[in-house]
Amino acid sequence: MCSCELPNHEFSKSKQLNEVAIVMVPFPAQGHLNQLLQLACLISSSYDLPVYYVCSATHNRQARVRANALNPADIAKILFHDIPTPEFSSPPPDINAMSKFPSHVQPSWDASMLLRESIATFLRDISPKSRRVVVVHDYLMSYNVQDVSSLPNVESYIFNCISAFTLYCFICLFYGMSLQLGEELLKKLPSPEGIMPDEVRDFTTSQNPYIDIRSGDIHNTSKVIEGKFLDLLAQAEINQNKKKWAIGPILPTKLNHISNRNNICLEWLNKQPPSSVLYISFGTTTSFSDREIKELAMGLEQSKHKFIWVLRDADKGDIFTGKARKVKLPEGFEERVKEVGLVVREWAPQPEILAHPSTGGFMSHCGCNSCIESITMGVPIAAWPMHSDQPNNSFLVTEIFKTGLIVREWEKREELVSAFTIENVVRKLMASEEGNAIKKRAEELGEAVRRSTEKGGASRIELDSFIAHITR
C-alpha cells in the first residue's frame, strides 16, 4: 500500500521513517516570509510531516516574531535552519520618493541571491536521511534552489504568493498574449506602468531560466474565488505539464489561538459596536510622506468614523537594526480623536483585527496577504494600491469580486490624495447603501472561502491531494 493511500493518522509512521521531508525556502520580505511560515505550520500540524524553514538568521527571526494568528505550538514544530547571508546595507525608506516601491531593500534582495551554495549544501545533507525531500520555494528563490535537479530524491514546487488573477495578467504581459477578460474589464484594468523599477523587473525575470526545474505549482488562493483565473492561468502557461494545487487561504481561519489577547488593538475593539471600525494599514513596504499623513489624518477625523490606524514606515532590509522614524501627526490630532480612533505605531495582529466583529472595513494597499486575510474574514476593502501586484489586486477586489471601493485610481498615483477624497470613501464604505451592499458581498465571499478550507471543501481537497502526491 503506497503512502498516498494512508489516512492522516498514519502519517506519524512516515515521520518516524523520515519518509518525506519538506523544505520551505522563502524570499526575505515580510509578505513572502509570512505565507511560507503559514504553509509550514499547516502542513506540520495537519499531516505530521517534518518541515524545515530555511532562510537567513535575521529573516527566520523576523518570521517568528511576526507570526500573526499562528499557534506557538505549531511554530515550535518547525525546524528553522539559519543559512549564512553576506552582510548587506539596510538604509531607511525614502518617504518623499515619487514611487512607492521599496527600493531601499534591494541590497537585502541582492544578498539573498548569494544563497545557492548554502541551500545546496543543506539539501545534500538531508537528502540521504529521507526517502524524498520536497522543496517548496518562492518563485523569487528559483535561482537559489536550482541544484534540486542534481539530487535524485529531491523535487521542487513553486509557491505563488500572489493572486492567480495577477499572475495570469503578468504572464500574458510577459509573453505578449491577450487577456481573456471581456471588453468592459479590459478598459478598466490598471496599466503595468510604474508598478516597479526596471532593476527589480530584471531581478524578477532573472529567475525565469530556473523555473522549469519545478515539478508543480502551489497557489495561496481558493477555486471558490479564483477558479476562472486558475483555469486561464493553466491555459496561458507555456509549459502546461506541471501539476497545480490551489490550497488557500493557508492562514488559520478559525483563529483558535489569539497572538496576544491583551493587545491594545483587540482591547479597544472589544469596546466598539459591531462592524463600526475601519482598520487602516498599508503593509510593510509602504511609507507615507508627512504631507500624505496629514491628509489621511484630516480625512479620517472629518469622516467621524471609528478607526484603528497602524502608522508605520516600510520595513528596512533588516528590521532589527536602527530606530524607526517617529511619524508626526497634525498637532492635537490624537487628543481630538481619542473617543473614535486609535493610532498604533507597533506591529499589529492584523488577522485577529480583521476577524473581530467590531471591524467593518479595511483601508489597504492591497498586498496579497492583506487581500487574502480581508477576503477570508469577510471584510470589505478601501483599496489604495502602491506598487507591484497591488494595482491588479485592488482591481480584483473592486471590479471582479465587488467587495471594495477604490481610494485612488492607479493612473493618478503621483497625485496627493486629499482629505476630502479620503473622508468620502470612508463614509461611502462604512455608512451608505452602496457600502452595505459591498459589505454583504464581502461577508458572503468570506463564508464561502472559509468553508473551502474545511474537510470536504475545495481547498482542503487540493491540500490533501498535494500531500498525497508528495508522499506517494
| Residues 234 and 216 sit within 8 Å (Cβ to Cβ) | no
| Residues 54 and 24 sit within 8 Å (Cβ to Cβ) | yes
- 160: which strand partners? 219
What is the side-by-side strand order in the sheet with 243-246?
79-82, 51-55, 20-25, 132-138, 154-160, 216-219, 243-246
Sign of CA dihedral 368, 370, 373, 376: negative
Residue 407 has φ and ψ, to the nearest 5°, of -85, -45
Q: Is-catalytic flag, 138?
A: yes
**CA dist 304 → 278, 333, 406, 422, 423 (Å):** 11, 13, 20, 12, 9
Q: Is-catalytic flag, 32?
A: yes
Annotated catalytic residue: which of 32, 104, 137, 365?
A: 32
* DSSP-based three-state secondary structure for 23: strand
Neighbours of 443 (CB within 10 A): 16
Neighbours of 209 (CB within 10 A): 11
Residue 333 has φ and ψ, to the nearest 5°, of -60, -50
Cell of residue 419, nine digits: 482629505
| Rounded distance between C-alpha atoms, residue 188 and residue 341, angstroms | 34
**Counting every residue, how long is the chain?**
472
User: From its phi and psi, is residue 304 left (phi > 0), alpha (psi between -120 and 50) or beta?
Assistant: left
In angstroms, the first-to-last Cα distance of the chain is 10
Annotated catalytic residue: which of 74, 138, 315, 389?
A: 138
| Rounded distance between C-alpha atoms, residue 217 and residue 246, angstroms | 9
**Catalytic residue ranges:** 32, 138
